[in-house]
Structure 1
Amino acid sequence: MDAVQIIFLILLWGIPIIRFMKIYRKLEKEEQEEIKASFKNPLYYLGDGFGHLGLLLIFTGMIIAVPVVQHIGAALLFVGWFYGGVELLDVSYKKSAGVISFSVIATGAYYFFLI
């Protein structure tokens, strides 16, 4: 692996982690407890967690040129989008259908054109 690739990987993973730690330290104790509680909820990881982790893995796979990592990231991203659409069912059926349709179409397009 090239030195530039290593620097990009450190920036890709390091900046969000450091930023989260700084923001977390500035929060009130009640808000910190809410964040800890949300991390204990498995549904948090299904929605937001999969989406964020999927994007990081897609870009990591591109940087290190390992397609398997990129495809795993894409799968996690699409699952996160799909679950986000399911969560929107309580708010709006039209928005939910749009997000779910987008995630299914994006999944099909990704795997049809890139695999």
Structure 2
Amino acid sequence: MDAVQMVFLVLLWGVPIVRFIQIYRKLDKEEQAEIKASLKNPLYYLDDGFRHIGMLLIFTGMITFIPVIQHIGISMFIISWFYGGLELLDVSYKQGVGMMSFSLIAAAAYYFFWI
């Protein structure tokens, strides 16, 4: 791995982490407690956590040319779409089913494209 790839990886992972810490420090104590509670909830990671970490892994796989990392990231991203559709069922049945269908179609398309 050359220096340019290392710089991109440090920026890719470092900027969001540093930005999150800066924003977290500016919040009130109540808002910080809410964030701590949501980070302790395992269902948070199925939706937002998988989406953000999956996107970072997708780009990490692209930068390092390691397809396994990219596949894991795309899988996490599609799982977060499906779980987001499940959560959306409470608000709107049509939108929830649409989002879950879209995630299944995306998973199938990705599977057939790479295999």
Shared fold, TM over 0.5: yes
Deviation of 1:87 (Å): 0.3
Give the SS at the match of 1:90.
Answer: coil
| Equivalent in the alignment of 1:104 | 104
Structure 1 residue 67 and structure 2 residue 67: aligned? yes
TM superposition score normalised by structure 2: 0.97
Q: Which amino acid aligns with 2:76?
A: L
Query: Tell me, which stretches of 5 or more residues in structure 2 are unaligned?
Result: none
* Number of corresponding residues: 115
Structure 1 residue 27 and structure 2 residue 27: aligned? yes
TM superposition score normalised by structure 1: 0.97
Same amino acid, percent of matched pairs: 70
Q: Which amino acid aligns with 1:77?
A: F
In the TM superposition, structure 1's runs of 4+ consecutive aligned residues that sit over 2 Å from their partners are none
After superposition, the CA RMSD in angstroms is: 0.7
Query: Tell me, which stretches of 5 or more residues in structure 1 are unaligned?
Result: none
CA deviation map 1:46-68 (0-9, x unaligned): 11101111110011011000011
